[in-house]
Amino acid sequence: MKKDYKVDLKRKAVKQKAQDAESAIADMKNYPTTAVIDLRKLPTSLLQNLRKKIREDGGKVLILKKPVLERVLKASPKLADKAAECNKPLGLILTSWSPYQLYKFFKDNRKKRAAKVGDVAPFDIIVPEGETDLPPGPALSELKTAGLNVQIKGGKIIISKDSMVAKLGEPITAPKVSALQKLNVKPFEISVTYMFGFDGKYVYSADLFAMDDTIAGDLRSCMSDAFNLSLNASYPTSQNIDALLTFAMKQSANLALNGGIYSSGSMEQLLVSALRQGSALESLESKAQNL
């Protein structure tokens, strides 16, 4: 008969996990923001650099084992359902920054990386026309093999015209990887995968913060459309009142001139118009007398 397996709470490893969990749960109470990041495909060098900057500002980056992190998240009622996401290597961040500030921090600390064989082009990778620092030699044939338009000029290899190395979604082959590396073209970015942030009240997903990339342009477009609509509808607001008054003044000035209506605003222009008409009549009268 199969026996139920029981965890030996006296084992050193088990005791250590319990202590790590309790310590992290206690730390969470001292920071306004808790966040979780995905550690997969994140280079150690970048992680250590980001970890150092967060620590310098008083924060913590905890690399916890999956069962420990799961227990930590379950300790918070609003994060308990996130424990199901602990089936991959994750890092727990505790900081005084807001979840959005942390997102911006990760976004601003991205790194470029070179292409690897088998990578899929994230966009059309085009090498622009211009000089390179490569001397004539084997590199010339390697660049040609990769599909670049190259020639020798002034003792250097030059790209004679813009050259498509790989199209969006196309796997990058070994010759193309070699050519891009020789030209120091790094088409890929390495950045932290931000799972979510929690400010004690709300859980914010990375998708929500990603709206920041387009929201400013969208708001400007909406404001411009609203401004034009209010002008065309002659609906006064604090933003369009100057433009509406200017337009109304121009209309009234044109009406006064076309209707010959005397006013303090139209008198000068009406007199100028009368003088021009008088000069024109005088000229016609002079021509008629000479006939």
Distance CA 115, CA 179 (A): 10
> If residue 231 lies in a helix (H) or strand (E), which one and from where to where?
helix 212-232
What DSSP assignment string belongs to 138-200? HHHHHHHHTT--EEEETTEEEE-S-EEEE-TTPBPPHHHHHHHHHTT---EEE--EEEEEE-S
Nearest to 191 by CA among 107, 103, 105, 98: 107
Write the pLDDT tens digit of every residue in 216-251: 666 677 788 888 888 788 888 888 888 888 887 777
Q: In the structure encoding, which two tokens stand for residue 111, read together?
A: 């790194």
What letter does residue 79 receive in the DSSP assignment? T
Distance CA 229, CA 241 (A): 13
Write the pLDDT tens digit of every residue in 245-274: 888 777 777 776 676 676 666 667 777 777
What letter does residue 37 receive in the DSSP assignment? E
Place of tokens 């008198």: 267
End-to-end CA distance of the chain: 135
Given a contact cutoff of 8 angstroms between Cβ atoms, the answer to whether 126 and 180 are in contact is no
Write the pLDDT tens digit of every residue in 148-203: 999 998 888 989 999 999 999 999 999 999 999 999 999 988 888 899 999 989 99
Supply φ then ψ for residue 34, to 5 degrees.
Answer: -120, 135
Task: Write down the pTM of the prediction.
Answer: 0.59
Report the pLDDT value the prediction gives residue 20, as an integer from 0 to 100: 85
What letter does residue 83 receive in the DSSP assignment? G
Report the pLDDT value the prediction gives residue 1, as an integer from 0 to 100: 46
Write the pLDDT tens digit of every residue in 116-142: 998 999 899 999 998 888 888 888 888
pLDDT band for position 5 (cuts 50, 70, 90): very low
Strands 193-198 and 33-38, sheet pairing: antiparallel
Q: In the structure encoding, which two tokens stand for residue 268, read together?
A: 């000068």
The alpha-carbon radius of gyration of the chain (Å, integer) is: 35
290 pLDDT exceeds 90?
Answer: no
Q: What is the mean pLDDT of the chain?
A: 84
Domains and CATH numbers, the chain: 12-110+191-210 (3.30.70.1730), 125-189 (3.90.105.20), 214-270 (no CATH)
Report the pLDDT value the prediction gives residue 2, as an integer from 0 to 100: 47
7 pLDDT exceeds 60?
Answer: no
